[in-house]
Amino acid sequence: MECLHDWWRYRKEELLALVKKECPLYVYNEESINDTLFDLLAVDAIDDLFYPVHENPHPRILRKVFELGADFKCISSVELDHLLRLFPILTPKRIFLKGVTNIVPISKAKPVELLLKILSDRYFTFPPMEKRSVNFFA
């Protein structure tokens, strides 16, 4: 059985060719990201799955998380602004602000009302005790 994390072994020559062109570099396997997200999102006991933006804010990874329906955890207003620039239709319920105590102004294109909505949705409403949230890769 092929291990999800061994994908690089089967693409060794391709990866070595990339390193000859540019080094250092980060390489991500989209299939591994898909499989991990699908598996976690399929767990019935998990109501919300939060991807921590600070772990990897690359637009293609964030787009994959967005498209597959996972939510986002931001720990700074810079991350929040980055998310809102990438996904202007992102709803407040899909954003969890953790530890953001010093909110700096968000770009003019993002109304303060949205930030207040995010804060009020996440910090001033309490889900039922049976709800569970899981951080993805955190």
CB 84 within 8 A of CB 110: yes
Spell out a b/e string for 16-37, using b for 16 or more CB atoms within 10 Å of the CB, else e.
eeeeeeeeeeeeeeeeebeeeb
pLDDT at residue 68 in the model:
92
How many helical (H) and strand (E) elements, i.e. helices and strands, does the chain have?
5, 4
pLDDT at residue 128 in the model:
47
127: helix, strand or coil: coil
Q: Where are the domains of the chain?
A: 4-135
pLDDT at residue 9 in the model:
85
pLDDT at residue 2 in the model:
53
Residue numbers of the chain with a pLDDT score lower than 70: 1-5, 99-138
pLDDT at residue 99 in the model:
65
Check: pTM over 0.85? Answer yes or no: no
Instruction: For residue 72, list its beta bridge partners.
Output: 51, 95
pLDDT at residue 60 in the model:
92
Residue from 101, 70, 64, 63 nearest 85 by CA: 63
